[in-house]
């Protein structure tokens, strides 16, 4: 009991000095042990380092002041031990998914990070005695994708990470799932300029997709719709915690993204990789970060849990089926304002030619979301034909492969010209509204539509 009292006294000291200097010597004195011993003991008790606990408590206290007071952001940053307002904004955005200014403007309800209290309580889980654990984060966290390798479709990265955590075959990597999902052979285009469309698996994230990819790697799954999650939130949060305790991430879709100081309706796909405060807070990995970030349960969330192992098809058979699915994905009917394959290219060109952007204020145009994202899909699929190359190794008997390869090579010869037209990914906003400047761009888009027609002709 004396040790617990010392730890609670230490927490009281920390709480009293969140807006001041915290003296390591004083921490050691309160705990009656060297600082290094204290650090090791603290992380064993809480699954978070003392340094990280202090950082998160300071950030939580600062977030309260951002939301509930009119104090200057820079003053709050300095008060809670940040070197600059920029450093504070970066930490705030990583934690809460928005800038302090945005949180203040909308009076955001931000996830709490509550004060720790040490007790002697013990719980039993499946017959094993263990100390009550209120927080846990997976230990093998890393980037879900390597964009320098052309990995731009996050669902495939989530599946590869899940397989890694399961200790599954290395054959089930990012490139494997890019083919099984259909992402690496399919173009998409979205009509709604307020939304963000990333690829086939993002636009068609439903149980048919999940069944296809989990069947391919030989695992059962549980698919939880946003409606089911909202109606049974406590049940599924508990299930998330159980999976995290087993060392398994949970795939999730639903987050919107702050981009260029604007909230975009993205419904981003990611992995839940941890929880805090006994499940009151869940943590996910933002697309380009390795810092687990809290998120709200108040948004519509889709969850996917991996379940038991089952017999997986032979690897060559999976590749054959993925190749056979190419026309299926590319002739699919438009869905929720998103078109696929040839139609995606035609809609893209027609929207530019027909003046879709004419009445959009230039400052409201985002080149990446309104143009670059679709160019990125083409470049990702043309420049990184890893799935196709593996299919040629495993399935030399599939007669369509040589013809598909020839068409990919034709697109490869044009893609760098395409990416250079009017600045490509870095196009100036006003150009998207200039019909004359965009004429060669639209001609190139239509050229790629013809390549996709050639691709479909292989199967007919």
Give the pairing type, strands 219-224 and 188-190: unpaired
Cα distance from N-terminal residue to C-terminal residue, the chain? 76
CA distances from 56 to 27, 48, 143, 282 (A): 17, 10, 22, 14
Cα separation, 370 vs 61, in Å, equals 37
Domain 2-106 has CATH 1.10.10.60: yes
Confidence at residue 262, expressed as pLDDT on a 0 to 100 scale: 54
Q: Dihedral of CA 147/149/152/154: which sign?
A: negative
Confidence at residue 85, expressed as pLDDT on a 0 to 100 scale: 87
Confidence at residue 121, expressed as pLDDT on a 0 to 100 scale: 46
| Bridge partner residues of 150 (DSSP) | none
Between 93 and 296, the more confident residue is 93
Q: Dihedral of CA 304/310/316/317: which sign?
A: negative
Helix/strand/coil for 359 = coil
3-state SS string for 321-372 = HHHHCHHHHHCCCCECCEEEHHHHHHHHHHHHHCCCCCCCCHHHCCHHHHHH
Residue 227: partners with Cβ closer than 8 Å, 6 or more residues away: none
Contact at 8 Å (CB) between 161 and 135?
Answer: no
Q: Is the pLDDT of residue 39 over 50?
A: yes
Cα separation, 289 vs 297, in Å, equals 21
Q: Dihedral of CA 228/232/235/241: which sign?
A: positive
Computed over its alpha carbons, how large is the radius of gyration of the chain? Answer: 25
Q: Is the pLDDT of residue 399 over 50?
A: yes
Between 267 and 385, the more confident residue is 385
Cα separation, 397 vs 74, in Å, equals 65
Confidence at residue 171, expressed as pLDDT on a 0 to 100 scale: 96
pLDDT in tens, 299-355: 789 999 999 999 999 999 999 999 999 999 999 999 989 999 999 999 999 999 999
Name the band, by pLDDT with cuts 50, 70 and 90, for residue 135: confident
User: Out of 3.40.190.10, 3.90.70.10, 3.30.1330.60, 1.10.10.10, which CATH number does the structure's domain 136-180+192-313 have?
Assistant: 3.90.70.10
Site of tokens 């991430």? 249
Give the pairing type, strands 262-276 and 250-259: antiparallel
CA distances from 3 to 48, 195, 353, 359, 366 (A): 18, 53, 72, 67, 56
* Maximum alpha-carbon separation in the chain: 78
Confidence at residue 127, expressed as pLDDT on a 0 to 100 scale: 38
Q: Is the pLDDT of residue 126 over 70?
A: no
Q: Is the pLDDT of residue 405 over 90?
A: yes
Helix/strand/coil for 160 = helix
C-alpha 457: how far from chain center? 35
Residue from 148, 152, 426 nearest 287 by CA: 152
Contact at 8 Å (CB) between 237 and 187?
Answer: no
Could you please report the per-residue DSSP string of 139-156?
SS---S--GGGT---HHH
Residue from 161, 129, 353 nearest 251 by CA: 161
Confidence at residue 110, expressed as pLDDT on a 0 to 100 scale: 74
Residue from 242, 277, 272, 250 nearest 125 by CA: 242
127-132: long-range contacts, CB 8 A cutoff, minimum separation 24: 131/45
Mean pLDDT, rounded, for 4-10: 85
Number of helices (H) and strands (E), helices first, in the chain?
Answer: 21, 11
Backbone phi, then psi, for 382, in 5-degree steps?
-80, -40
3-state SS string for 173-187 = CHHHHHHHCCHHHCC
Residue from 165, 149, 156 nearest 322 by CA: 156
Contact at 8 Å (CB) between 270 and 258?
Answer: no
Rounded to two decimals, the pTM is 0.72
pLDDT in tens, 422-440: 999 999 999 999 999 999 9
Confidence at residue 131, expressed as pLDDT on a 0 to 100 scale: 37
pLDDT in tens, 50-60: 988 899 899 99
List the structure tokens of 29. 């004195």
Q: Can you give the residue ranges of every domain in the chain? A: 2-106, 136-180+192-313, 316-459
Q: What is the chain's mean pLDDT, rounded?
A: 89
The helix (run of H) or strand (run of E) holding residue 50 is helix 50-68
Helix/strand/coil for 118 = coil
């Amino acid at each position: 009991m004396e040790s617990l009292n010392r730890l609670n006294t230490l927490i009281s000291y920390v709480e009293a000095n969140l807006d001041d200097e915290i003296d390591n010597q004083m921490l050691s004195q309160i705990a009656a042990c060297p600082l290094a011993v204290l650090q090791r003991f603290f992380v064993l008790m809480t699954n978070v380092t003392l340094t990280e606990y202090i950082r998160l408590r300071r950030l939580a206290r600062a977030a309260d002041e951002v939301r509930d007071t009119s104090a200057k952001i820079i003053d709050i940053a300095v008060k809670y031990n940040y070197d600059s307002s920029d450093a504070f904004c970066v930490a705030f955005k990583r934690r809460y998914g928005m800038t302090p200014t945005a949180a203040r403007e909308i009076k955001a309800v931000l996830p709490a990070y509550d004060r720790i209290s040490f007790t002697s309580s013990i719980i039993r889980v499946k017959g094993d005695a263990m100390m009550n654990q209120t927080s846990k984060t997976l230990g093998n966290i890393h980037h879900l994708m390597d964009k320098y390798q052309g990995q731009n479709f996050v669902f495939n990265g989530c599946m590869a990470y899940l397989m890694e955590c399961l200790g599954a075959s290395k054959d089930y990597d990012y490139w494997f799932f890019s083919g099984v999902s259909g992402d690496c052979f399919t173009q998409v285009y979205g009509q709604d300029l307020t939304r963000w469309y990333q690829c086939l698996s993002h636009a068609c994230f439903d149980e048919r997709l999940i069944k296809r990819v989990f069947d391919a790697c030989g695992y059962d799954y549980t698919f939880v719709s946003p409606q089911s999650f909202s109606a049974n939130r406590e049940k599924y949060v508990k299930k998330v915690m159980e999976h995290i305790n087993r060392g398994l991430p949970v795939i999730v879709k639903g987050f919107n993204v702050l981009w260029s100081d604007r909230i975009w309706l993205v419904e981003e796909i990611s992995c839940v990789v941890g929880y805090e405060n006994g499940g009151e807070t869940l943590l996910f990995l933002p697309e380009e970060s390795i810092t687990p970030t809290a998120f709200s349960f108040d948004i519509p969330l889709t969850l996917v849990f991996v379940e038991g192992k089952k017999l997986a098809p032979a690897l060559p058979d999976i590749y054959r089926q993925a190749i056979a699915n190419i026309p299926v994905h590319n002739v699919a009917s438009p869905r929720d304002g998103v078109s696929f394959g040839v139609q995606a290219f035609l809609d893209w060109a027609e929207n530019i030619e027909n003046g879709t952007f004419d009445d959009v204020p230039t400052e409201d145009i985002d080149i990446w979301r309104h143009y670059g994202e679709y160019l990125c899909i083409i470049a990702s699929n043309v420049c990184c034909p890893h799935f196709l190359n593996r299919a040629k190794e495993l399935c030399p008997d599939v007669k369509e492969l040589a013809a598909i390869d020839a068409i990919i090579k034709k697109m490869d010869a044009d893609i760098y010209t395409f990416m250079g037209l009017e600045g490509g990914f870095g196009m100036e906003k006003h150009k998207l509204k200039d019909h004359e400047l965009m004429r060669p761009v639209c001609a190139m888009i239509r050229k790629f539509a013809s390549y996709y027609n050639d691709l479909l002709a292989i199967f007919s």
